[in-house]
Amino acid sequence: MNFFFKCFVLTLCLNLIEGAFRCDYNYIPTSKSWFKHHVMPATWDDARTTCSLEGATLASPITEVLELDMIEIIEKSFTPETEVFTGIHASTPAGAFHTIEGIPFSEIPLTWAPNQPDNKNDKEKCITLNGKGEIADRSCEEPRPFICYSGNVKAKPNECGNHDPEYFLDKRMNKCYKLHSTPRNFSRAFLACSAEGGHLAIINSDLEAKVLIDLFAKYPAKDMLGNGAYFWKEVAFVGFYDWGFGDWKTIEGQPIMEAGYAKFKSGEPNNSAPGEKCGSMYRKGELNDLWCDRPAAFFCEKFPNIPAYCEVSSKRNVTNS
């Protein structure tokens, strides 16, 4: 009788998904986090923005494991002396030093570099970390390399390959689109779309113009936050600009006529003072020239599978007895 109650010991080897994130990030098992180092130096605000648009956060050494991972990345990718921006800053109206996640400085175990902090010229509101594990207070405006980080995300990406509910897959074009209703100037709009794995939308057909018109209609002016005197809500940047004197080409250098859509509103382009060189679209789909340095809403376009998503799995033994 005992025989039937004898235990079976069965060891199964299971592949468990530990997490998934965009493939341009590397997974480091010690902190169970995803990292990407940006070699091109940027101001602190641009670094913070870039990480955020990539769906991540400007990395701060908030725990010892995270700090060790950051140090290793700095040593491998830069030099031990290189200082990267961390997410620790005092550049907001709130003043006191804290991480982007809101963790106060006093709760993070850190070692200052020699002679730091000195708040030189009362202008050093951002904290850097070097490959020796030392931090320093530095100007937020002086460009530096930086590291973006994401904790372990297990949720499956949406059909546009990210976790941004504002991106939607248009079945007619088989492309993903987003209207950014937080205004940016043209260069920052360009940056935002590429950080998301796409580009400023290039209108290649009447049908694609219709897709953008429909999307614009979902964002009535009254629902867009911001003072109308600074943020004109009837137009949004798209991917073309004036490469010379009225040489309207897409951001990829193709004349807009050849790209497939060149319907300017009557009276446009009018090169309104002090000069308009950047491409935008009115709510009804007609094109317009717009001031590059003034913030406006903007359209991004991307392939659903870019950036690619990578899964990491670990082997675990499950014992049944």
Ligand X SMILES: *[C@@H]1O[C@H](CO)[C@@H](O)[C@H](O)[C@H]1NC(C)=O
Residues binding Ca ion (CB under 5 A): 116, 118, 124, 137, 202, 204, 268, 270, 272, 276, 288-289
Residue 202 binds what, of Ca ion, ligand X, none (CB under 5 to 8 Å, by partner type)?
A: Ca ion
Instruction: Name 16's Cβ contacts closer than 8 Å, sequence gap at least 6.
Output: 313, 314, 315, 316
Decide whether 98 or 188 has the Cβ nearer to ligand X: 188
User: What's the min distance (Å) between Cβ of 140 and ligand X?
Assistant: 12
Q: Exposed (0-12), middle (13-18) or buried (19+): which is 5, by Cβ within 10 Å?
A: exposed
Q: Which is nearer to Ca ion, 65 or 221 (CB)?
A: 221
Contacts of 281 (CB under 8 A, 6+ apart): 203, 209, 212, 216, 235, 236, 238, 287, 288, 299
CA 44 to chain centre: 14
| Ramachandran region, residue 95 (left: φ > 0; alpha: ψ -120 to 50; beta: rest) | left
In the list ligand X, Ca ion, none, the entry touching 187 (Cβ below 5 to 8 angstroms by class) is ligand X
- Give yes or no for a contact between 141 and 124, defined as CB atoms under 8 angstroms apart: no
| Of 166 and 268, CB closest to ligand X | 268
Based on the shown chain and the rule CB under 6 A, indicate whether residue 266 belongs to the binding site for ligand X.
no
Total of residues contacting ligand X (CB under 6 A): 16
Report which DSSP code applies to 50: H
* 267 contacts ligand X (rule: CB under 6 A): yes
- Does 293 help bind ligand X (rule: CB under 6 A)? yes
Out of 317, 319, 320, 321, name the contact with ligand X by CB under 6 A: 317
Residue 316 near ligand X by CB under 6 A: yes
Q: Per CB under 6 A, which of residues 1..30 are in contact with ligand X?
A: 11
C-alpha closest to that of 223 among 231, 35, 118: 231
- Binding region for ligand X (CB under 6 A) out of 53-61, 158-166, 196-204, 286-294: 286-294
Per-residue burial over 57-91, b = 16 or more CB atoms within 10 Å of its CB, e = otherwise: bbbbbbeeebbebbbebbeebbeeeebbbbbbbbe
Binding characters for ligand X, 176-215, by CB under 6 A (x = yes): ---------x-xx---------------------------
Residues that bind ligand X (CB under 6 A): 11, 185, 187-188, 267-268, 270, 272, 276, 288-290, 292-293, 316-317
